[in-house]
Every structure is written in C-alpha cells, then in structure tokens.
Structure 1
Amino acid sequence: MRKFLLAGVAFATLAVGSASTQAQAQMSDNVIKIGMLSDRSGIYADINGEGSAVAARMAAEEFGNAVNGTKIEIIVGDHQNKADIAANLARQWIDTEKVDVIADVPNSAAALAVQGITRDKKRLFLMSGPGSTDLTGKDCSPYGFQWTWDNHAVASATARALVEQGRKSWFFITADYAFGHSLEAEAADTVKQLGGTIKGSVRHPLGASDFSSYLLQAQASGADVVAFANAGGDTINGVKQAAEFGIPQGGQTLAGLLLNINDIKALGLETSQGLMLANSFYWDMNDETRAWSKKFEERTGRMPSMNQAGVYSAVRHYLKAVQETGTDDADKVAAKMRSMPVTDMMMKEAKIADNGRVFDDMYLAQIKTPAESKYAWDYFKIIKKIPGTQAYIDPKASGCPLVK
C-alpha cells in the first residue's frame, strides 16, 4: 500500500509538472512583449508619444504586469513620422526582439507599412492614432485592429454638423500624405452628399511652419468653411495663423477635422472657442472617465487624448484575450479579441468587426468659450453621441476581403 501511495504521489507530481510546462509553452519566449511604436518627438508627440506608453503601462499594471504567470514587457520606439523607419523598427522588433504585438503608430503612412509587416509575420497590430480607412478597408489584416477613430468617423461627423448649420461651401488645407488625403476625401464626400460645394483645396508638407500662402488661398476662395485636414502640430499652427490673418473675423468658419484635447490646450480657448470636433473619448464625461484620467494626469501632467485612452483600451483588451486563451499565439488571440466585446472606462460592449474595426461610439462636441470653462481642462461641450454603427463605415462596404 505504501509503495502504491508513493507511486501515486510521483505520478501526480509529474502530471502537475507536465501541465505547468505545457502552460509555459503556450507563451512564446516566456514573456508577453508589447512594442509601443509612436511619434515621440514630432507633431503627434503630444496626442500619442510618451502618453501612449504610459497608457499601455497602466493597462499592464491592471494585470500585475503578468498574465497567467508570464511577465509583460513594454518597449518603446520613435518612428519619426517616416514609413521606412516604422517598417524597419517593426521588422527588427519582431525578428530580433521577439515582440508579440505592436501598438499605437500614429501617422497613416507608417501604420500602413507596419500593417504589411505584421500581416506577413503574423503579429498583432493595435492601432490608436492612424486614421486611414484603408487600414480596415483594402489593406486590412487578420492581425490588425483599428481602435479609437478613423478619418470617416471624425471628418463626416464634423462636416455634417457644420453643413446642417448652413455652412455649405468648403476649402481644404490638407497634409500631403495618406492620412490628410483620406481625411479631406471623407469630409468632402459628406459635404457634397448634403448639397454643399467644394471651393478648392491646397496641400502642405508634414510639419509645416508657415501656412500663410495656404491661408491666403483659402481666404480668397470665399468659402464658408476653411477646413484643416491635418492633425497635431500642423492643425495648431494652421489655426493660430488663421486667427492672426483675421479669417474668423472675416466671417469664415475654421474647422479642424481631427482635434484632440491637447490641441485645444495648445491653442487656448480664446483661439479655439466654438470649434466643432468629433472625439471618441473625453476625460470629463463621467465618474469612470474622470477617475482613470486623473491617474493618467498624475503621471503625465496632462489629461489624456482620445488616442492615448484608445491605447489603454486596446492593450487591456489584448491582455484580457491572452488571459482567456492562455496563449499569445496571434491567431488564437485575434479570434478571441473579435469574439469579446470591448468594455472598459472608454467604451461599453463595443463590437469588433471582421475587418478589425472597433465600433466604439463617437461624440460631437463644441469647444467652450473662456467664460463657459470653469476649471482646468474643462474644454468640451458634448452636443450628441453618435453610435458606432452610424459613425463608421459598414464593414461590408469597407472593401476589406476578410469581411464575410
């Protein structure tokens, strides 16, 4: 009997050891490695940059920086808004650093380059910053997920609101790369569908400092709306210089087709008051958003942009899928991410479509006047909620070959 019991204990020990070894084997390299690839020094550094890395760390900390006993490691890199640098970093991270997932990547040209690499190498890609609808359209990937917003959602909502107010003729000042072209096209299509007209457009290089020639053309067009199809530092410089030219005082309305709370902080309420914008996140919406945003502010000195909130949401959802599946295998985790609705402080029960589009709600907002703002970062006046099913392109019409 004693020999039988000892043999049973030995067998049980071997079984437990075998199960433990098997569980470890489900995690490649015994680490869950997340690469935060962002603009850390250029025009998108405020709305993404280090703040995005902080948001990712906050998501990891909710899991104790480990999932099922496997350590979470976050590394960061700067793509400098150059597609070739983004591609080289992504390739190096996957081949040499054994990165399991790449996240953030503002700048659509950079994101499209990374999308191709992660598709080929079967690594997950969590986007919260690039706006091109091609990322969930003709260039979609079974491993790519587009969080937070896209050009269609922000541009069409803003354009619709202004045209419905009677501002029907438009002139565009557009960043001359994939993101800007797409943003202009989405807004222009909405304007024309609602009976408006396009008076013209002009394109500027990324990171332009002098907008005077573009603004003179916009002013001469006589358009009701001068729309900036750009983002970050480009929008800030353009809007500031437009105010100096007296364009708003002359009766033309300024529209930023992609504005974040950080941009309003940089512009100041005197310059930005009255601007319409569409965002998927605002820190002061409810107790849950305020609590998370205050933690973010303690670590960064500022409130989060929607892009940074989206990074937190995306990384958290990914880690939850890893926890549920017990593996970091890209195919299994991607399938689990699609099957689970996204629920966190940013969104509730948001579905993920076959093309990787996260159908979160958008919010149409107007920037408050200095008199309306009662405390720090009190900038947005929420006008209405736009359900995700209305805000985004129907997956069946997206052009993505993955959509069934």
Structure 2
Amino acid sequence: MGDHAAIGNPQRRTILKAAVATGILQIAAPFVTKAYGEEPIKFGLDNPLTGTYAELGKNEQIGCELAIEQINAKGGILGRPVQLVVEDSTSADTGTAVQKARKLIARDKVDFLLGNVNSAMALAIGQVSNELRTLHIVTGGHTDAVTGTDCHWNVFRVCNTTRMETNSVARLLFEKYGKKWFFITPDYAFGHTLQQGFEASLKTYGGTGVGAALAPLGTSDYSPYLIKAQAANPDVVLFLTAGDDAVNSLKQAVQFGLDKRFHIAGAQQELEVLEGLPPNARIGTWVFEWYWNQPNVPHVAEFVAVIKKRAGRVPTARHWFGYVAVWTVALVANQEKTLDAVKLAKALEGFKLPPEVGLMPDTPFYRAGDHQLMPNLYVGHAVEKGSAPEDLFHVDSVVKGSEAALPVSQTGCTMKWS
C-alpha cells in the first residue's frame, strides 16, 4: 500500500510522566507519597502520529493520557504509579510498527501494549505481543481478523469489527436507498473486510455489487475512482475510506456532483473527518462508534467537559478508544491484584465496563471466545450544522454490538492459551 506517512521523525517518542491530574479526581496525599516511591507500571502505545491517520492516533493518545492521569489520581495500579510510553508507528509502514512494538516490550519493558489505528499494523503487532506474552488492547484497528482468524489469547479490542459496522447499517441502506452498490475501498486489510461485510449483506438481501475501486492508502486524487463509480450507475456509493483519505474522497465526490445522483454512505465515520470537510460535503449515512452528544447518558457530559478542557475540543470516538483501553487494564488489574497477562486475560472474558468508562446507553463487555468489546453502535447521518459547532452527526438509531456482531463460531477465532 502507498505510504505518504513518513512525515517528520518516525523515531518520535514521548513519555507521559506519572503525574496527578489536577481537578479530575482527588485522593489522600499520604497514599500518593507511598505510591510514587514504587516502580511505575508502563503502558506502551504504538500508534500513528504522522501521515493519513495521525489525527486519529493523536486523539487516541489524548484519551490514554486522561485515563493515566485519572488512574494515578486514584492510587495507580496495585498502588504503583502508571506511565504511558508512546511510539510513532507511522500510518502505513507496518515494519516500523512491528519494530516499535518490539522496542516497547523488550527495551522499554512496558507491562501492557496498546494500538494500532491501522488494521494491518494491529494484526502485525498482535503477533509480536503474543510472541512476547504481553497483554495487548487494540484501540482502533477494525479488520475482522484481529478478533477473528488471527485472534490471540492476549489480544483484546475496543473498536468494532468491520462486520459489526456493516451489519448495523446495511439493511437500512438496502431498504431505503436501493440494492445496487458501488464501493470505493482503501486497498488494505481494513477496506477489504469492510467491503466483504457489505457484500455479505448484499447477498443476504438479494442486492448487487456493481463494481469497486481499490485506492491506495494516502491517495490524494480520487477522480479515476469517482469516474468509475459514476459509470457504474449504482443506487448507493459506499465510501470505505478513513482519516485524511475519507476527507479527500468525500470532498472530491461532492465536487464531481456524485451526491446529486447517488446516495453517499459507508460504515465507520469519524468526527475528525466531518470536521475536515466543507459543510456541503457533510452528507451521507454512516456508523459512529461513540458520539459525544448523548444528553441522557450518565457521565458523558463530565467526560466531554474534561476532554474539552484538556484538548480544546469535544471528544471523538478515538478519545474514547484510548480512554477505555487504559481503564480496562487498570480496572481488571486492580480487581485481580496481579499483572500476570494470562490471569488478566482470563478475567477480561465477560468483563463489563462501568458506566463512567462505558459512556453509552448499554453496558459494553468483552466477549469471551474472541475478546471483542460489545458496545453500542450509532447509526445516523451527517449534517452541515447541528446544535453546536461540533455536532455534525444525527443519531437515528442505536444498535447493540452483540446484535450486530457475528457469533463467535462464525468469526474464525480459535483461541489458543499457550
């Protein structure tokens, strides 16, 4: 796949010092003194800080940092302070991501691994973490194989599978907008499995795929693919792109006038993308994995306020991914009173997130058998302008993850505890 991600220094590395977050949570000072005399527990984040997915990776990092600070404010993990060690995987160089994962585990001696946004990288570093027997939470890599055919006992995932995303929206698209679909697909694991999921839905509902265009990661000119989509004369053009690629492809689709002839849609959509688009390109039917405007859900307003104070903006699903990943480990480690990866992995099977971490109507839980989080999915449509400057998505329905997901028996996951 193409790589325009080598911008800046790929060796970029930052460490979040173990520090108490002022104004978030308060604890007794004597406990802080005791905890900070202990060897810190380290989380290693292997995520893109440059390239197509840089903004997504950085927002996941902000979510991780907030969780780290809150955990330290509550006494750390097992009475020890917590640190975050961050490496830039780049957005498209899987070899670099693997190298950084090995460095984090073998040299920096992190206790837990987090990442990656890029699905191919999530798969690759999952192999590394499994080899080195390190508990690993995949934050934002969606391809099905992470908790499917390439599942590992030590790997858990916060974000949805691509099949969960396609299943949650496919029937609506078929029944409301038509049965002939064309795909604009990023040419790597994430895009491939999204397209496969939609094609499975077409088969189920009796629809037709009228063509597909595979675009390299980091494509700037989508005109050849848009011309191909236009010639296919579909009912729906499905944009499976993400990050900067989604901004470029959707912006150019509107310039071509595709939205005047066909319904624009997809599966995963992100607030970062909608914010990057001109208002007239904020169109289409999509799936959000978490949304900040949930007025009747406990603790969401507090989370939004803390992120806004910290980052100067409302949180996105990426902030939530990072936040949930770190808190998941802290909660289960303090519950089980151990850092042993196998014991923690066993305890995470069926583990439920508390409301202040789950931040959604139903209770997210990690499914035993494939280690996939079962959250809510938010199906709706993009809007030019909502109730607030960053309210750019209208939630039409909320789908339970357990209803959108394939049964474990159909995921291809065979868990080996060795």
- Judge same fold: TM > 0.5, yes or no: yes
Specify the alignment match of 2:111 in structure 1: 100
Q: How many angstroms does 1:200 deviate by?
A: 0.6
SS at match of 2:259: coil
Specify the alignment match of 1:195 in structure 2: 206
Worse-matched range after superposition: 252-261 or 117-126: 252-261
Specify the alignment match of 2:413 in structure 1: 400
SS at match of 1:110: helix
Does residue 70 in structure 1 map to residue 80 in structure 2? yes
State how far apart, in whole Å, the 1-side matches of 2:86 and 2:286 are. 30
- One-letter amino acid matched to 2:67: A
Identify the match of residue 287 of structure 2 among 275, 278, 286: 278
Matched ranges for 1:152-167 at <5 A = 152-167=163-178
State how far apart, in whole Å, the 2-side matches of 1:314 and 1:135 are. 15
Matched ranges for 1:238-317 at <5 A = 238-249=249-260, 251-273=261-283, 275-286=284-295, 288-317=299-328
Does residue 86 in structure 1 map to residue 66 in structure 2? no
In structure 2, the gaps of 5 or more residues are 1-34
State how far apart, in whole Å, the 1-side matches of 2:399 and 2:345 are. 27
Q: Normalising to structure 1: TM-score of the pair? A: 0.88
State how far apart, in whole Å, the 1-side matches of 2:242 and 2:166 are. 12
Describe the superposition over 1:16-60 as per-residue Cα deviations: whole angstroms up to 9, x where unpaired: xxxxxxxx9xxxx9331101111111211222x222122112112
Q: Are the aligned partners of 1:232 and 1:259 in contact in 2 as well (CA < 8 Å)? A: no
Worse-matched range after superposition: 121-130 or 278-287: 278-287
Pick the structure with greater CA Rg.
Answer: 1
- One-letter amino acid matched to 1:111: A
Specify the alignment match of 1:358 in structure 2: 373
Q: Are the aligned partners of 1:35 and 1:101 in contact in 2 as well (CA < 8 Å)? A: yes
CA RMSD of aligned residues (A): 1.8
Specify the alignment match of 2:388 in structure 1: 375
- One-letter amino acid matched to 1:265: E
Specify the alignment match of 1:234 in structure 2: 245
Q: How many angstroms does 1:225 deviate by?
A: 1.1
Specify the alignment match of 2:121 in structure 1: 110
Matched ranges for 1:115-130 at <5 A = 115-130=126-141
Identify the match of residue 38 of structure 1 among 39, 42, 47: 47
- One-letter amino acid matched to 1:355: D
Specify the alignment match of 1:15 in structure 2: none
In structure 1, the gaps of 5 or more residues are 1-23
Specify the alignment match of 1:57 in structure 2: 65
State how far apart, in whole Å, the 2-side matches of 1:94 and 1:124 are. 11
- One-letter amino acid matched to 1:367: A
Q: How many angstroms does 1:345 deviate by?
A: 4.2
Worse-matched range after superposition: 349-358 or 276-285: 349-358
Does residue 168 in structure 1 map to residue 179 in structure 2? yes
State how far apart, in whole Å, the 1-side matches of 2:301 and 2:279 are. 21
SS at match of 2:177: coil
SS at match of 1:199: strand
State how far apart, in whole Å, the 2-side matches of 1:388 and 1:158 are. 12
Aligned length: 372
Q: How many angstroms does 1:339 deviate by?
A: 4.4
State how far apart, in whole Å, the 1-side matches of 2:59 and 2:384 are. 27
Q: Are the aligned partners of 2:177 and 2:263 in contact in 1 as well (CA < 8 Å)? A: no
Specify the alignment match of 1:206 in structure 2: 217
Identify the match of residue 178 of structure 1 among 189, 197, 202: 189
Q: Are the aligned partners of 1:269 and 1:367 in contact in 2 as well (CA < 8 Å)? A: no
- One-letter amino acid matched to 2:405: Y
Q: Are the aligned partners of 1:46 and 1:262 in contact in 2 as well (CA < 8 Å)? A: yes
Q: How many angstroms does 1:67 deviate by?
A: 1.7
SS at match of 1:30: coil
State how far apart, in whole Å, the 2-side matches of 1:206 and 1:280 are. 22
SS at match of 1:62: helix
Q: Are the aligned partners of 2:59 and 2:318 in contact in 1 as well (CA < 8 Å)? A: no
Specify the alignment match of 1:391 in structure 2: 404
Specify the alignment match of 2:24 in structure 1: none
Worse-matched range after superposition: 101-110 or 289-298: 289-298
Identity of aligned residues (%): 28
State how far apart, in whole Å, the 2-side matches of 1:385 and 1:163 are. 18
Q: Are the aligned partners of 1:32 and 1:328 in contact in 2 as well (CA < 8 Å)? A: no
Q: How many angstroms does 1:231 deviate by?
A: 0.8
Specify the alignment match of 1:7 in structure 2: none
Does residue 349 in structure 1 map to residue 351 in structure 2? no
Describe the superposition over 1:50-93 as per-residue Cα deviations: whole angstroms up to 9, x where unpaired: 22122112112222252232120101111112211111110111
Specify the alignment match of 1:147 in structure 2: 158
Describe the superposition over 1:191-241 as per-residue Cα deviations: whole angstroms up to 9, x where unpaired: 221121000111111000000111000001101111112211111100100
Change (3 A) 1:374 1:208: same
State how far apart, in whole Å, the 1-side matches of 2:159 and 2:188 are. 21
Specify the alignment match of 1:134 in structure 2: 145
Q: Normalising to structure 2: TM-score of the pair? A: 0.85
